[in-house]
Chain A
């Protein structure tokens, strides 16, 4: 789960990281009130889960409550990279003398957490990594954890002034606690700012949580943003389906993530465009199948649907029952193509044929058929 900046800052504040005071607003009026309470110059920042908010006009300074109202109104009217801005963070503004980059993330190859540090902060770090990789310092955190002296040694070349070095090392140690105790896959401060007075601050915060760790983090539930989820995504999450909407017109329901991705690839290979990634998971039941069909038909552009099931733990007859039940409740207005093979395939075929449906065994054939049907619908 990706956290909004305001949520990540809440998490940071809990661990004592220096973030500037601020609050989230959903209307210009709220933004004005928050700005009035904070006093002085504030920064209004769009809360959407994409990078490049600044470039898109989603970050503005405001000198006083009335200007905060205007800027918040402008930003709340924006759509950034396809995402409508529904919330803004109103925070006290800071003067900045230097901007650095500091992050901890998982190095999958070395299987250790990795600190990334750069004097080139405040900009897109991926751009820095591409164009000037020597500007990024990388250091793995040993299995036993990070020690304060290691933090100081790492930061020393970038913080010559004693007080700043101490502050920065304290920030890195706290960021490490956020990362490890908080089960993050990424904890990032960009920029890590130094004010003209020599104070070191976390001016922005980006956190990605390890979804698998939610079994021990009940507190994460309040961060789940219903506004960020479409109805389809919510239903998918509640039913334990893995779903990603795409731009095409051929819906697919598949068991297994790898097979689901491969199905999308095959659709594209034969000239179609997949409408979604949808993995109904291992032990599937008719209810999941019904939910999957409801999610996909809820997306307006879908012209035909392909079921691609390789029965292992998933039983083909369960899927067939789900299809039959679902169609019984609400007939499908678009063509349905079913490919299934594996566990209980024969029973599944019987169930389908009893209801006037048929299934193919070949994945390529299923894909070619569904593309043809989608084209017929279009014509």
Chain B
């Protein structure tokens, strides 16, 4: 019913005695997250809101079997905190801290990636830095997303923003669309988990039925996500890109949000999604209805015979179904999109048209 976190998440809070760490520890406990340990060097042995504090993450993990970490330490020490959590063997590291120098993030990113490769398990996973964290409504929250705006349901949300994510989640909730997991991946140029990682996980999550993707100007993660969706995502996706009115060369708050060298514009990103049949909302308030429509179409499709229903991108790369997809696509003159089963392509195109 979620990705990355659920009832089995046992959290250690790095920087638990700091202002933000202490406040959000309380908020997470109140939401039902199992906060089993905190870490502040030099304060081992203390307790904060009933949570035992340790001097280091390895000690905390040994004593409490924590399997996830959230980081609230100041920017100058945050990369070290990521290294520490990774070396202590937690599966998930969520770095809320903003303002990390890119050089520090790069080192931490590659350390985590190397461990992941060595483990061969897809773990540890780094989310952030400079992100609001994630919440699986009704199960667990790690980070600073407000719990009361969410409700359990079938929509996966992934976003580069913070408060814009809250805005969209609240509008989904008001429209009756609950969420499986809401994930803020962060606004920095280098982040641990990108759109593709999130899309892959949502696609594999049996309880997620649709995905909302909130991008912004800068970089090319959205364009790469669009290509990934074309090849590997069968669930309906709706996108919004913030910064359609942003001028080039100006950093719009987030270190990653800058149009440089004429690339990274909202227009390019919106076109990339539309080209693969993903409806793009012009403003956030269009997202819930676009998502509801897209999921409705998928549900209607699911009522067809099972053989048609279970076609997945991964399966489709197997010869028989791929061949069928190609034949049908060619028959309809959609040769360029042959890798995608044709009904889906057609319905998405219809969705994009219907919006206009």
Contact = CB atoms under 8 A, between A and B. Distances in A.
A180 interface: yes
Nearest to B243: A261
Contacts of B145: 312
Contacts of A371: none
Interface in B184-199: 187, 189-190
Interface residues of A, number: 50
Interface stretch (B150-158, B250-258, B333-341): B250-258
A313 B246 contact: no
Contacts of B262: 126
A269 B286 CA distance: 12
A258 B146 contact: no
A341 interface: yes
A260 B253 contact: yes
Interface stretch (A59-67, A195-203, A207-215): A207-215
Interface stretch (B8-16, B38-46, B217-225, B313-321): B217-225
A108 B222 CA distance: 12
A342 B101 contact: no
Contacts of A211: 251, 255
Residue of B164, B240, B254 most packed against chain A (CB within 10 A): B164
A258 B159 contact: yes
Contacts of B167: 259, 262, 310, 363
A354 B190 CA distance: 46
A255 interface: yes
A258 B256 contact: no
B1 interface: no
A258 B244 contact: no
B242 A261 contact: yes
Contacts of B240: 262
A212 B254 CA distance: 11
B247 A261 contact: no
Nearest to A130: B262
Interface stretch (B58-66, B83-91, B277-285, B344-352): B277-285
Contact of A268 (B161, B224, B244): B244
Interface string B199-242: 00000000000000010110111001000000000000000101
B240 to A, nearest CB: 8
A111 B104 CA distance: 12
Contacts, number: 165
Nearest to B194: A109
B326 interface: no
A246 B247 CA distance: 8
Given A256-B164, A343-B146, A265 B283 contact: yes
A257 B254 contact: yes
A5 interface: no
B163 interface: yes
Contact of A312 (B144, B253, B282, B284): B144
B356 interface: no
Nearest to A255: B163
B285 A363 contact: yes
Contact of A108 (B220, B243, B246, B250): B220
Residue of B20, B102, B145 most packed against chain A (CB within 10 A): B102
A265 B219 contact: no
Contacts of B17: none
Contact of B99 (A106, A185, A212): A212
Nearest to A112: B106
Nearest to B109: A111
Which 8 residue pairs across A and B have the least CB separation, nearest first? A258-B161, A257-B253, A256-B163, A258-B164, A213-B101, A261-B242, A259-B163, A261-B243
Given A210-B101, A215-B99, A312-B166, 18 more contacts: A106-B102, A111-B190, A180-B103, A212-B102, A258-B164, A258-B254, A260-B252, A261-B246, A261-B252, A262-B167, A262-B242, A265-B244, A265-B282, A266-B283, A267-B245, A277-B250, A312-B163, A363-B285
Interface of B: 20, 75-76, 99-103, 106-107, 109-110, 132, 144-146, 149, 159-167, 170, 187, 189-190, 214, 216-217, 219-221, 224, 240, 242-247, 250-257, 261-262, 266, 282-285
24 contacts: A111-B190, A112-B106, A143-B106, A213-B103, A242-B252, A242-B253, A244-B251, A246-B247, A256-B164, A256-B253, A257-B253, A258-B163, A258-B164, A259-B242, A261-B243, A261-B245, A264-B243, A264-B246, A265-B242, A265-B266, A277-B252, A310-B166, A311-B146, A341-B170
Interface of A: 106, 108-109, 111-112, 126, 129, 143, 180, 183, 185, 210-213, 215-216, 242, 244, 246, 254-262, 264-269, 274, 277, 279, 282-283, 310-314, 341-343, 363-364
